[in-house]
Amino acid sequence: MFAKYFLYWLPLPFIAILNGLVREYVYGKSVSELAAHQISTAVGIILFSLYLWWLSSYWSLTNQAQAVTLGCSWLVLTLAFEFGFGHFVAGHPWSRLLHDYNLLAGRVWILIPIWSLIAPVIAMRLRAK
């Protein structure tokens, strides 16, 4: 089952990278860095939601336990990708990666992993109605 959940998750890093490229090359230079970060977070949640809504019309989640397991799997995969790719591939220091999770500084990126965790349950419930 985890292999299936991993396959469901696999498009998310590509969506996130595309979102980052749009931030960098479209609006990132015309707004402050903090505003670009916040806009990018909102756009990321919207894009993830659209993908998840499309995916939820094909998946076979039938109960809350499966949706929670999917959400937990996506949370772990998202954090592993973000910190693994961000540090070991992009070369960002840990302090920079953790900075995006500082709500007191207006950094709202923590909403992305939270959404990865809860979105499958929400989508399953909405589809069930």
pLDDT for 27 equals 97
Predicted local confidence at residue 61, as pLDDT? 78
**Amino acid in position 104:** L
In the chain, % of residues over pLDDT 70: 99
Q: Could you identify the residue written with the tokens 């992993």? A: 113
pTM: predicted TM-score of the whole model, two decimal places: 0.89
Q: How far apart are CA 94 and CA 4, in angstroms?
A: 30
Instruction: Return the pLDDT at 58.
Output: 82
What's the pLDDT score for residue 4?
Answer: 82
Residue 60: helix, strand or coil by DSSP? coil
Residues 14, 19, 24, 30: what is their CA dihedral angle, to the nearest 10 degrees?
170
From CA 74, how far away is CA 117, in angstroms rounded? Answer: 6
Phi, psi for residue 30 in degrees, rounded to 5: -100, -5
CA–CA gap between residue 112 and residue 44 (Å, rounded): 7
pLDDT of residue 57: 84
pLDDT at residue number 77: 95
What average pLDDT is seen over the chain?
Answer: 93
CA–CA separation, 30 vs 10, rounded Å?
Answer: 31
pLDDT digits (tens, 9 = 90+) for 43-96: 999 999 999 989 888 877 788 999 999 999 999 999 999 999 999 999 999 999
